[in-house]
Structure 1
Amino acid sequence: MDRLVKPDVKEVELSFKSGQKCSGVFRLTNLMHTMSVAVSLTTTNPTLFSFSQPFSVIPPLSSLSYTLFSQPLDQPPLCSTHHHDVITVRSAMLPTGKAHPDDFRRLFSFPGCHVFMDAAITISFVGPRVVEFLIAHYAKMGPKLSSSLGKAISGCSESQLTKSLKLAIESENPDLVSALIDAGAEVNSKDSDGGSLLGSAVKAGSVDMVRVLIASGCRADNSADRVLHDAAAMNRVDLIEILCKSSGNLELNSADSDGRTPVHIAAARGHVEALRFLLSAGGSGEIRDSKGWTPLHHSSAAGHYDVVECLLERSNAKYVVDRDGKTAFALAAENGHTELLAPLRLNDALHRAARLGDVNRVKSCLAEGATVNGRDQNGWTPLHRAAFKGGIECARVLLNHGAQVDAVDEAGYTPLHCAVEAGHAPVAMLLIAHGARPGTKNASVKGGGLPRNLDRFKNHPALVVKPFCHEKERV
């Protein structure tokens, strides 16, 4: 026979509570049919643990219950450098069936064949306070964390596990999150503000945790969560991409309490990477917030040049006025962002359309109120650009809307100069038909005011004769 008694458990669990004694109960059964057995209980940490009965007598084929106590502690006695504490169960035959305390001490004071080592019972602390401690100290726990956590969560209810899950998310440890979810934590629980756990993971900035939660069925709540807003505020394109691809219930253009969408947030913070992704995924750059500001208003007021350029390319908000009647241009000017004034000029879209030969866009710009003779930083009007690029249809639309045919830029060039310089005879003829004067010049034009490349137009007397007739005027 290798042992005299048998425990009913391999591990005694103590539900830990800060500042209170903890206790756990186990039973020992005498395996002897005819003889009583003396039992001695000790632990590897006698200063922390004690027993209701450190010495006892168990009658034949009978069982006794024992209570293990721990001293009050402020935090669980867990350390990565120590093994779990254990209860050592020793026994000896007791033919008389009785013994005094001194008899027990003498009986178990010296090892020998009469003393049996019956069991080593592990001592574990369990409960939500232990889980919280492990979450807070997971970096120090090392390999022991997994086993300790597995034991600790066994003493937690679903609500306690769910509360601990929120702490695990904040700790940015996906292994802890997975373990708690597997143990029964509710992934779609809400915080006091109605926000989801997915929102907490996004705020923590952990891609791995967001993946774990989404894979476990966690969903954002559009009525309370602002996960895309939070990701945009951090310029986290990786988080935005995961949320857009994996959480199908999210609305890209959802607004916060101030009416701002994720695009507004990215624009206001100057996060051009997040902005580009949101716009490419279907976010709008033209929605107004509670102040009437579009994302372009926000970026212009803050002086974010790259964001302004992106929004000018991807939205039509340049002409939008806020509740105070201000455009993005006005806000940039008010805040001293002079570098933004050129791209934000209200007629810049018209210039761009004229340069590209986009007739429909030229028409829409004019219909929206763009100034047909508005000038860029070099003094060029849209007609200068259309003439230089050979856009005859754009030039015709501009002229029909009152474009000044002989407008002079800062270098003294007219649209006709530009057309001739670039070799666009049809445009030059159109300009002359609308009253352009080939001899018009400005003293600041290099060479006296006549364009180069006149030899290209020898077959167009209207373009060549008059300028040469005025050669005498050149100094």
Structure 2
Amino acid sequence: MINLNKRIWATTVLALAGLTSAGLRAETPSLLAALQSNNPALVAKALAEGADPNQRLADGASPLAWAVEMQSPELVELLLVAGARVDGVADSTSPASWPPLLVACLRGDHAILQQLLAAGADVTATDSGSNVAAFALCAGSATTPVLQQFLQQGVDVESVDATGQSALMHAAAAGKVGNIEALLAAGADVNTVTTAGFTPLFFALKSGNPQAAFTLLDAGASTSHIGPEQTSVVQMAMYQQQYQVAAQLIEQGVDLSAYDRNGRQLLHAAVQAQQPQLVALLLRKGADPNALTGESKLTWRYEVNFTSAPYVVYPTTPLLMAAELGNADIMRSLVAGGADIEFAQEDGTNVLLAAAQSNAHALELALGLHGDANSVNRSGKGPLHLLMNIGTDSPIPRTEIQAMFQLLADHGARIDLADAKGNTPVAQAQSIHYWAQKEFFAVFTSADVSPVL
């Protein structure tokens, strides 16, 4: 229904603009310039002085489409009252000649959508290039009552654009649960697949709204579909930090040994995300606490002005990942679940060395698991070497650094332990360039050792 108050307002503004233009004869801006200024008075003045509300603009767009793009219900009403065609000015040669309703559905302003629909806009409006329909765009931007108006006029809920994306996918991507429910009730296919291999459920996971995914799952969305890069639904849930959804899928049963594109199984991904409840769930479901990470499908490299050496990532276990992240709770959970506390990577990194740069809680736990505070990696570096390699950009506070020094000292860490290049912790600490010198010598005191000031 036309809003009579707005219609009266628009008619009055146009009439007053006509009187002003007749009396003052001020210079009139072009209709496009007036629209771009988002100034109803200027638009009304241009129209009153003869601007054609249906004149195709230089970019091929109609004035009404421009008013919609400006997201101004006032400008839209002025043009409609002045006789603008609600479906715009067709021009198949111009990519900018979208029908106003298509633009409105892209932006999603409720008032403007209501104006256009009340004026009889064609609900089947579609972009000729991409084949994207106004209805599909509105599924991802409009309110459910507006979407229902499209459905009541018989739009095709199964229509897809050039990429195979349906209205349900647009609604899912926006996390609009009400629109998802309306489309499903109208018969939308919950398992349709895009040309790239995505289902509506993948779009819902990307939305950030777990309820969108749960709604599709309740409607029968496939949990076994494999998307691009051999990505499963649960892997996508982990990528998008949809941990509630991931937990439900794991409870229902998933492949625990499958690797994602990063070379991780679900347990590795849960550890990396620092989700202790998911870790516990995966262990309870039978995930291997000693599974090694695999090869990533992504190509990693150092910044070229840093080094041209290859970027090497050694296969590792969930326990070493948790230690490196400094998550003592997850470390305990993994150990209780059977994690191998003696495992070392190809470069010699064990659980203690992995925790050496994390925090005091993880380091203390690692020392309890692997008590040799002088164990070294393949480069001859022990936990003290590694701790001292933390730079000034580290978020670890100085008090924490000192506490970690104390833990290593209490377990007999040697300050004269030389690595493969002959470097010792004490020599590094004596350098005037070492930033945690005060904290080091507050713990490692000796008559023969003192800082160089």
TM-score, normalization: structure 1?
A: 0.44
Query: Which of the two has higher C-alpha Rg?
Result: 1
Between Structure 1 and Structure 2, the one with more strand by share is 1
Higher RCO by CA contacts (8 Å cutoff, separation 6 or greater): 1
